Amino acid sequence: MERVKLQVNGREHEVAAEAKTPLLYILRNDLGLKGTRFGCGTGHCGACTVLMDGKAIQSCDTPLWSVEGREITTIEGLGTREKLHPLQEAFLDEQAAQCGYCINGIIMSAAALLQRSKNPTEEEVTKALERNLCRCGTHVRILRAIRNVAGKS
Amino acid sequence: MLPANLKANPRLDRWVRIDPRGAVTIFSGKVELGQGTVTAIAQIAAEELDVELGRIAMVPGDTAVSPNEWYTAGSLSMEAGGSAMRAACAEVRKLFVDAAARKLEVSAADLEVRDGTIGVPGTDLSTSYWALAGEVSLAREASGGVSPKNFSRYRIVGTSQPRLDLPAKLTGAAYVQDMELPNMLHGRVLRPPSYGARLEAFDADSVRALPGVDAVVVDGSFVGICAAREERALKALDAARGAARWSAGTPLPAFAEIHELLPKLRHETAVLVSKQGGAKAEKKLEASYSRPYIAHASIGPSCAVAWLRGGKLTVWSHTQGVFQLRGQIARVMGMRDEDVNVIHRDGAGCYGHNGADDAALDAALLARGAGRPVRVQWSREDELAWSPFGSAIAVKMSGGLDAAGKVAEWRHETWSHPHVQRPGTGDGVNLLAAWHLEKPHAASRAADPPFPPGAGARNAAPLYDFASQEVIYHLVTEQPLRVSALRALGAYTNVFAIESFMDELAGAAGADPVAFRLAHLADPRAKAVIEAAARAAGWQSGAKSDGNSGRGIAFARYKNASAYCAVVAEIEVAEKIRLRRAVAAVDAGQAVNPDGIRNQIEGGIVQAASWTLKEQVRWDASGVQTRSWEDYPILRFDEVPQIEIILINKEGEPSLGTGECAAGPTAGAIANALFHALGVRARHLPLTPERIAQSML
């Protein structure tokens, strides 16, 4: 076990864990940030997507050691129930969820996209979601919600 | 007449509690699976009680307090759960209104309820549910003598209300996966390498000696590991894999085409429909169709939390049936039902009998072994390889046209395994770990619920008016792969076959597919959805394909008793089929939450398109080979169609379940569109480029 410092949602944290521990478990279990979900553990489904220095990464296959000195943002850092991020608000407005399990990862991918491109094309949106899966089939609403935010910004 | 679920749970306080502080608590046996049922049930309760939706607190399914409403399955939550809740709330409202009439010394007929305040309009005579809560006892049985509100006065039912559960889910912790109990351990179970493999040797001490491992539970061929840190449990699981020696498993039959495999397996045959009549067939056709085994493939693998304290076990699970799961867990644990409490907590999308119940027993066994609360999280591989698959199905159709080009003969023959092998169905224990224990429990014997609606034979009887028809079902009891309920059960494939064959017959008759269907239907609601979908899609009779795009239509009424749904699919074929646009028309009777229905139909179309175009469980003699997202691809964001939904709201008609109605029509419409595009009839799913190439030979 080592003590590792990491910056999450604008706050400095220190955790005692093995350096190879996937970031996902640190976020969920050490920091109590449960909005980042486990889906496959191999970076194929996107349920665990968070931002690292503004870029979407899969936290399930990102080792703890690699995030030292980087800024991590989770869904909780994006917005809260009291103060929703525009993407969360748009997803709720469109009711762009069925089970909702994949959605936070999708919102994080979309947030990374909108940070680098204010008005992305359809292709850029689907490209940004190429690592995200949804099984309930909510895709059409998800794309609409993202488009709504992109249009506004 | 009491609705069945209220008759089975007649005490009104099993459904409703009124709090003097102004809150209404609603207990439903129907649970949230991602389909929005809990919000719709809350709407029904708020409507019938005449309170605002915001006053309602919904209690998740809980064996300690909820009515036992069987499973949340079969598109029955509105039809069965909704009607029971409506009747219960109507009775509660009347008890309060009668009490108010006595108190205010007015006639009950003069009273109105507004957000729980009961008064005589235009006067200041009033009281409320909250004021009367102490004197009106709901510890009594429903009388069956109260009529629910007339639909013309609906204010909440029939409106699109946002889902109550989503704000929490889109901001943080919300699922069973997110639960944390004091002193909780993370559990993982080491599954055998294949079906039937037994643990021959296991060096448990080497795993116990690993850093951070708190418990190793071994019982027969069941091996579980618990650790305070989740990543330690994962590491220990890897080590356990190396410390275990397994016997060879039960070899699987060679991977084969489903329509060749199933008829060769042991089966029992029943004639479900047989009637003769009408004109003689002049022109005859036959064709065979199939779909492979399909995985649930939810994005969140199954999870459960269990805690055994002072001889009482509590299990939190995303099960579809808390009571049925409780009975099975109690049996395996050697406990009394009343000492086990199963509480529903939302999980990731549930499309049928997945690994949820199995994970619940895993957690119970590990909690007992570790003496602490345990959260068991299944891996992606566990979920894809060990949870039950949707049964494979083969269908053989034959039929004939009379001289006038109408269907004069119709024969539908289906082969499939059982589709309902849930915990709590049959005489055995349908939980994975129970089969691996030192004293194993046997699974229930293979059986299917009676037809109609049946399971593998679901929707095998056509809704079309064929004077002469025969429907035969072969229940394939020999089951090489573990199978159970997946959304729509046999209806997906039976409708795919019926609707493909209808197009084949229409082609033989030289008729337009839309007109041909309408000519064989008497039910005006069935006709209306077909006409609405065709109109919205801009259906042109006789339209020619440009050689790479096409459109097709298909229709069904789920179970011949739930929602009506017609789908028009527009596809493009290049190296693979691309579904460009889907237009669906749906009649679900009285819509409770129209947006909720739209969401279910959109999702149903996308999921069925994924099954139809991409999905197939593969295996070889040693076991299931599709164990990751790389082996089992599903439809992605760059592959989804535009979707338009026409919702035909039949106010005042019974609400009809919509969760499963789009599946079969979507498959049929895509296959028919492929035929329109290329003139090729692909009859065996999935419609991959290889399949299409085969069909062209």
pLDDT band at B697 (very low <50, low <70, confident <90, very high): confident
- B198-248 pLDDT, tens digit each: 999 999 999 999 999 999 999 999 999 999 999 999 999 999 999 999 999
* Chain A contact set for B584 (CB, 8 A): none
Q: Do A135 and B634 touch (CB under 8 A)?
A: yes
Could you state, in order of their start, the residue ranges of all structural domains in chain A? 2-77, 86-152
Give the distance, in angstroms, between the CA of residue B301 and the centroid of all CA atoms in the same chain: 16
Interface with chain A: mutation pick from B32, B171, B188, highest number of A CBs within 10 Å = B171
| The domain made up of A2-77 is a member of CATH 3.40.140.10 | no
Residue A35 sits at the chain B interface (C-beta within 8 Å): yes
Residue B593 sits at the chain A interface (C-beta within 8 Å): no
Average pLDDT for chain A:
97
Residue B655 has what pLDDT? 96
* Chain B contact set for A74 (CB, 8 A): none
What mean pLDDT is predicted for residues B676-685? 96
Give rounded-to-5 percent helix, strand, coil for chain B: 35, 25, 45
The architecture CATH gives domain A86-152? Orthogonal Bundle (1.10)
Q: Are B558 and B566 in contact (CB under 8 A)?
A: no
Residue scoring higher pLDDT (B67 or B696): B67
Q: Do A139 and B163 touch (CB under 8 A)?
A: no
Q: Residue B251 forms beta bridges with which residues?
A: none
Q: How far apart are CA B466 and CA B519, in angstroms?
A: 11
pLDDT at residue B316 above 70? Answer: yes
From the list B298, B603, B638, the residue facing A137 with the nearest CB is B603
Same fold, B4-169 and B390-419+455-696: yes
- B488-528 pLDDT, tens digit each: 999 999 999 999 999 999 999 999 999 999 999 999 999 99
pLDDT band at B108 (very low <50, low <70, confident <90, very high): very high
Quote the minimal CA–CA distance from B191 to chain A in Å: 17
Q: Do A138 and B229 touch (CB under 8 A)?
A: no
What mean pLDDT is predicted for residues B580-584? 98
pLDDT band at A153 (very low <50, low <70, confident <90, very high): low
Give all strands (DSSP E) within B558-682, no chain letters: 564-573, 577-587, 619-620, 623-624, 642-648
CATH number listed for the domain at residues B390-419+455-696 = 3.30.365.10
Please enumerate in sequence order all residues whose Cβ is within 8 A of that of A84, keeping only pairs 6 or more positions apart, or say none: A92, B171
The architecture CATH gives domain B176-248+298-386? 2-Layer Sandwich (3.30)
Please enumerate in sequence order all residues whose Cβ is within 8 A of that of B238, keeping only pairs 6 or more positions apart, or say none: none
- B367-380 pLDDT, tens digit each: 999 999 999 999 99
pLDDT band at A152 (very low <50, low <70, confident <90, very high): confident
Quote the minimal CA–CA distance from B609 to chain A in Å: 10
Element holding A148 (H helix, E strand): helix A139-152
Residue A29 sits at the chain B interface (C-beta within 8 Å): yes
Give the single-character DSSP code of B280: P
What mean pLDDT is predicted for residues B547-557? 97
Average pLDDT for chain B:
97
Q: How far apart are CA B328 and CA B339, in angstroms?
A: 13
From the list A18, A35, A136, the residue facing B603 with the nearest CB is A136
- B262-312 pLDDT, tens digit each: 999 999 999 999 999 999 999 999 999 999 999 999 999 999 999 999 999
Q: Are B488 and B434 in contact (CB under 8 A)?
A: no
pLDDT at residue B458 above 90? Answer: yes
pLDDT at residue A46 above 70? Answer: yes
- B115-141 pLDDT, tens digit each: 999 999 999 999 999 999 999 999 999
Q: How far apart are CA B35 and CA A88, in angstroms?
A: 19
Could you state, in order of their start, the residue ranges of all structural domains in chain B? 4-169, 176-248+298-386, 390-419+455-696
Q: Do A135 and B348 touch (CB under 8 A)?
A: yes
**Highest CATH level, class, for B4-169:** alpha beta
Q: Are B499 and B516 in contact (CB under 8 A)?
A: no
Which is nearest to A38 in space by CA: A54, A52, A49?
Answer: A49
